[in-house]
Amino acid sequence: MPKITYVSPDGTQHLVETPVGASLMEGAVRNNIPGIDADCGGACACATCHVYVDLDWAEKTGQASAMEASMLDFAVDADQRSRLSCQIKITDDLEGLIVHLPVSQG
């Protein structure tokens, strides 16, 4: 299982293993990562699982769909690194991925 690191706004790092095929959001929820509320349960209908993905990982995590991009309009402090973690599926290529949580979700 790929290891993913979630970094809280205060710098606290949470290293978790997430099964291939699950979403980044599911890995966070299963491991009680603070700041990932996932109010819609992964339906891409809110922005409570907003994360920042380093641009070096953009190719491996993929681009936001039109629906995801419209939901990111509701995220506080969204920028070019912003993604909804419910829309990123875990693959073996994501081993070592580090994502940062926005201050607004801290």
User: pLDDT (tens digit, 9 = 90+) per residue, 58-97?
Assistant: 999 999 999 999 999 999 999 999 999 999 999 999 999 9
pTM here is: 0.94
Q: How far apart are CA 13 and CA 59, in angstroms?
A: 23
Closest C-alpha to 27, from 39, 43, 15:
15
Q: How confident is the model at residue 104 (pLDDT cuts 50, 70, 90)?
A: confident
pLDDT for res 5: 97
pLDDT for res 55: 87
Residue 18 has pLDDT above 80, yes or no: yes
Q: pLDDT tens-digit profile of 19-49? A: 999 999 999 999 999 999 999 999 999 999 9
Residue found under tokens 């606290």:
12
Strands ordered across the beta sheet of 13-17: 13-17, 3-7, 98-100, 50-53, 82-84
